Structure 1
Amino acid sequence: MAGHLGFSYIGVIFLMMLMIPNIIWTKHQPKGYDPIGENKILLLFERIGQVLVCTCAIIFSDFNIHDTWQANIWLIIAFICMLLYEGFWMQYFRSEQSLHDFYSDFLHIPLAGATLPVLAFFLLGIHGQVIWMLLSITILGIGHIGIHLQHALQLS
């Protein structure tokens, strides 16, 4: 459950699926988006979690594909979550790109831009049985989902 050190190509794929839309988002931020005033504790959790999750995703080979499809069921579900995350971004980029669009649900998944990647990386941690990923994504999830929730509540 501690994890085997080595390169994870699956971790790199997941990180690319996470980061590419976020890089594009920097040029398409919602009108009126202002991170000033975000809860500093949640922001600290988010930043620490980001570093830990990115590191874990790359350095533990346990996330790579296992021998049988049954051993990969958690990976398959995690990958589906990442595909749904990409779907959320397609919805956002096709929208008016308002704050409402950014903090919207996707296929009835609340705060999909925050919850789907957190869920995906948590499932990746289960797949690889790496406690460090499970702890790291929990830290990130508290911060990232908390910040998104804070913004969404301000809109309502």
Structure 2
Amino acid sequence: MHPTLLLLPLAFARSDMAIVRCYSCTTIDANTVLNDDETKWRRWLEDSGYVPTTVGCADSYINENNARSGVITRNCDAGVCMKVWFRGKSDESHVWRSCVPKHQTGIRSECTKISNSQGEMELCTCEGDLCNIADTVASSRLLQFFSWIIVFFILRRFN
């Protein structure tokens, strides 16, 4: 058997087995969002991985400027990339880009928008390499639940 034929199965391997890289940054400092008495949420945010705070992560994000603005990329093992955009009553908007665990039931092919009297938010997820640069096209119910928790604390802090 020719040695290159041994590599043939790799050509048909599923792409979701590859490690995806995601942009990882935020325009908001988590310490300003959570009160001192919210230690569980603060610990959870710290455990979820370092996400650098930089204005370069804003919704008008430009790929060519990412290294200069402090935006990093990180491997997203068994997860998907996400982008969360939110605006509170103060009309100040923020963005959070990162990696989140992949939900077992799959991913829908649209973003999720949430709006109420406290503000509005859009959560998008994607599975491609560095795909969370702009509006992406998928969301899961787990991420919707996750987003409600985040938006509750963020909007409470900024309003």
The question of a shared fold, defined as TM-score above 0.5 by the shorter chain, is answered with no
- Relative CO higher for 1 or 2, CA cutoff 8 Å, sep ≥ 6? 1
Normalized per residue, which structure has more helix?
1
